[in-house]
Structure 1
Amino acid sequence: MQYETRRLPRLMVAAAVVAVLAACDGGDTTTSAAAPAAPPPPQVTVQPVAMADVPVAQEYAGRTQGAREVQVRARVTGILLERTYQEGQTVQQGDLLFRIDPQPFRVRLDAAEAGLQQARATLQQAQRNWNRIDELWKSRTISASTHDDARAALDLARASVAAAEAEVESARIDLGYTSVEAPLSGVTSLEDLPEGSLVGTGAGDSLLATITQLDPIHVVFSLPEAEQMRERVLLESGKASRIEEQGRVPVDVVFGDGSVHAQEGWVDFTASGVDPATGTIRARAVVPNPDHRLLPGQFVRVRVKGLVRNDVAVIPDKALMQGPQGPFVYVVDAEGKAQARPVQTGALVEDGRIVEGGLAEGDTVITEGVIKVRPGAPVQAAPPAEAAETPASEEAQG
């Protein structure tokens, strides 16, 4: 009996411990059985699809070249006395560039003018002689031979005067050639012959300098044949139209840093055939260049404008996703769920990417938050303005 009395407290303690453990296990079971709360639908930014006429600009690689490049050459032989400009200077048409020693040509002009005076004196004498002979001939006091000789002498004197006048004009022109003027406005090159050189009229000793016209300047570029054919199909089918300014196709010139030349140019030439070596069509644009920012030989991008795509949709490029079957976008259906929609994309324009097919007027496209979207799952859609205000309001509350 004493042993059982001593054992009883121990049994009671053990029972109490078991009861406590059971209570703890029961609480955990209740907690684990509770279902977790469902996450809210992701918030996304949406944009309704609106069909409109969209201007399209196409860019091509191009290279600049002077609108005109003229070689300044000597037209008479002589000593080059002076160069009147600084090399690399911009000159205007008619500016004096070089002086060739004029003295020999002045002497030749003086001699030609003296010869002209002599010929005119001879003509006057022949005219007076003819007048006398003709009167005698009418009275039949001289022979026909004498009359004919007087007439021939008069005609010869007149011809001599004409030849002398031509000689004077030639000498005057050569004297004028000793002052070499700029044939056009442009930028001068390095001189080819220094002052004091003997210049001539041959190919090897007549070149004095070169002038390149920079305003306007030409930009040469090539149009891919396939792209031109596609544009022609769009124009003929009515899916595109061409807007020209004063009958010309406008262009912008884009520099390597992305900046755009201040003056707009236009296309003035397109080849009538395709280059078989490159499969491209050669074209040229004329661009005003008053500040000479464009220089010959410069690589630029030519942005050809004037093409308009008719009745197409434009969406932000970031809304496009790429899948195994090609590009697609997420649209929000009538139940507020995101659905994948395959699309056919077109050119990249200022406001986004043209969608050729797959979207209709009034469709709601998800443009931001696409990474959080699952096909068929509900989303919380907001237009761009509202979506931009939501983070700001949350930050203010915080």
Structure 2
Amino acid sequence: MSEPNAGQSSARWRSAPPAFSAVLALAVAGLLAGCEKPASQAAAPPAPPVTIAQPVKRTVTDWDEFTGRFEAVEEVQVRPRVGGYVNSVEFQDGAIVHQGDLLYVIDSRPFEAVATQAEGQLSDARAKVELAKRELDRGLNLVQTSAVSEQVVDQRRQALQAAHAAEMQAEGALKAAKLNIEFTHVVAPITGRVSRHLVSPGNLVQGSDTGTSTPLTSIVTLDPIYVYFDMDEATFIKYSRLWFEGRRPSSRDTPNPVQVTLAGETKPSHDGTINFLDNRLDVSTGTLRSRAVIKNTDLSILPGQFGRVRLIGSAPYEALLIPDVAVATDQSRKIVFVVKPDDTVEARAVTLGPLDEGLRVIREGLKAEDRVIVDGIQRARVGAKVNPHPAQAPAGGKS
């Protein structure tokens, strides 16, 4: 069969029924319309879900935080009062010792010999006193009969006084000798934790009478314990202003409370009170040395440790608080994301206060009725809608 030529095909197209041509035109038009539909008319994604909560309103008190170092209330460097060879060490290194406990024993034999000699000298002095008394009594009897002169009586009276003086000197020498014997037993002057022994048995130690006594060990008290910290000048001025306004008592007159957090802890574990403020600022650092006394009943704190000291810094006041995780940083600003009534997101600049029981105080920028995004911040976009859901529990504990 021969193929139709071009003229035949064109004739068939022209001779097609009108209904078929209309259907074909509608199909082509629909195809073109589908290709020209804007992408913006596609189905929009659903609004992202976020968790919201209103700020908690409650009475709070500001606390200022400082870095402190613990020191013992009492510390003693144990040194011998007398010199000699060490016979024994009577304590365990690092143990708790009580006042009066024996620590060292020094050879006492040389001092015992001196005490024996002093006893002999005292006996001789007392015998001379008795002799001088009898001679004076005899002279007083003889002077009445003019057998001796008044001059002889005066001489015998002076001899008795000299004998008494020699007796007192001998008694003092004996007491000193006995004290030296007592000092050969070195005892703990205070109750506390003792350090290691610095001198072993058999070594010669120098006493305090030589001016360079040998250190033996040291003892520190543990309960209570001091914590020293430095307060900057601006904080001191703030406290002074609050005191003048009657909104905070002065730590010089009132034992203001402190809380201490040790290294590795997330919240305060020890309580105490301020008991000392220095009388001037350190000109090299511009700080004021302060001290608090802390209870240490479990003996968990040692002198030399560091800790974070929280000092009451204001009078109680009403504040709005939100979870700290709801606060974001925008360059140098702190912001929170607030859901407006139309469920769109607004970034709100805020002024932060301290943390209080896990919540952040908001000084400026929020109202009590604001809906703050506390979870899902990464899904929120400023000006875009979100799907807010209330938090399961209030934003903070107490209201």
Map 1:175-194; keep pairs closer than 5 Å: 175-194=181-200
Per-residue CA deviations over 1:294-347 (Å, capped at 9, x if unaligned) read 333333323334744423322222333445783344556677765554432222
Per-residue CA deviations over 1:359-397 (Å, capped at 9, x if unaligned) read 455555444445555667776655423799xxxxxxxxx
Map 1:370-381; keep pairs closer than 5 Å: 370-371=377-378
Matched, 1:117 2:123: yes
- Distance, in Å, in 2 between the alignment partners of 1:57 and 1:102 is 58
> Which residue does 2:16 correspond to in 1?
12
Distance 1:211 1:387, change over 3 A: closer
Q: Find 1:223's aligned residue among 231, 239, 243.
A: 231
TM-score by length of 2: 0.78
Distance 1:283 1:325, change over 3 A: closer
Q: What is the one-letter code of the residue matched to 1:314? A: L
Q: Helix, strand or coil: the match of 1:385?
A: coil
> Which residue does 2:288 correspond to in 1?
281
* Shift of residue 180, structure 1, vs aligned partner: 0.8
TM-score by length of 1: 0.78
> Which residue does 2:164 correspond to in 1?
158
Distance 1:100 1:321, change over 3 A: closer
Q: Find 1:62's aligned residue among 45, 62, 68.
A: 68
> Which residue does 2:321 correspond to in 1?
314
* Shift of residue 148, structure 1, vs aligned partner: 0.8
Per-residue CA deviations over 1:7-52 (Å, capped at 9, x if unaligned) read 6599438963761462474488599699777777665544444554
- Distance, in Å, in 2 between the alignment partners of 1:203 and 1:88 is 28
Q: Find 2:203's aligned residue among 183, 197, 208.
A: 197
Q: More displaced, 201-210 or 41-50? A: 41-50
* Shift of residue 212, structure 1, vs aligned partner: 3.1
> Which residue does 2:80 correspond to in 1?
74
- Distance, in Å, in 1 between the alignment partners of 2:143 and 2:9 is 192
Q: What is the one-letter code of the residue matched to 2:296? A: N
Distance 1:375 1:259, change over 3 A: closer
Q: Is the 8 A contact 1:243 1:308 kept in 2?
A: no
Q: Helix, strand or coil: the match of 1:165?
A: helix
> Which residue does 1:354 correspond to in 2?
361
Distance 1:12 1:188, change over 3 A: same
* Shift of residue 98, structure 1, vs aligned partner: 1.0
- Distance, in Å, in 1 between the alignment partners of 2:224 and 2:293 is 6
Q: Is the 8 A contact 2:76 2:218 kept in 1?
A: yes
Q: Is the 8 A contact 1:45 1:387 kept in 2?
A: no
Matched, 1:22 2:26: yes
- Distance, in Å, in 2 between the alignment partners of 1:259 and 1:139 is 100
Unaligned runs of 5+ in 1: 389-398
Distance 1:197 1:355, change over 3 A: same
* Shift of residue 179, structure 1, vs aligned partner: 0.6
Q: What is the root-mean-square deviation in Å for CA atoms of aligned residues? A: 4.0
Distance 1:21 1:117, change over 3 A: farther
Q: Find 1:293's aligned residue among 274, 288, 300.
A: 300
Percent identity between the two aligned chains: 33
- Distance, in Å, in 2 between the alignment partners of 1:315 and 1:233 is 29
Q: More displaced, 84-93 or 14-23? A: 14-23
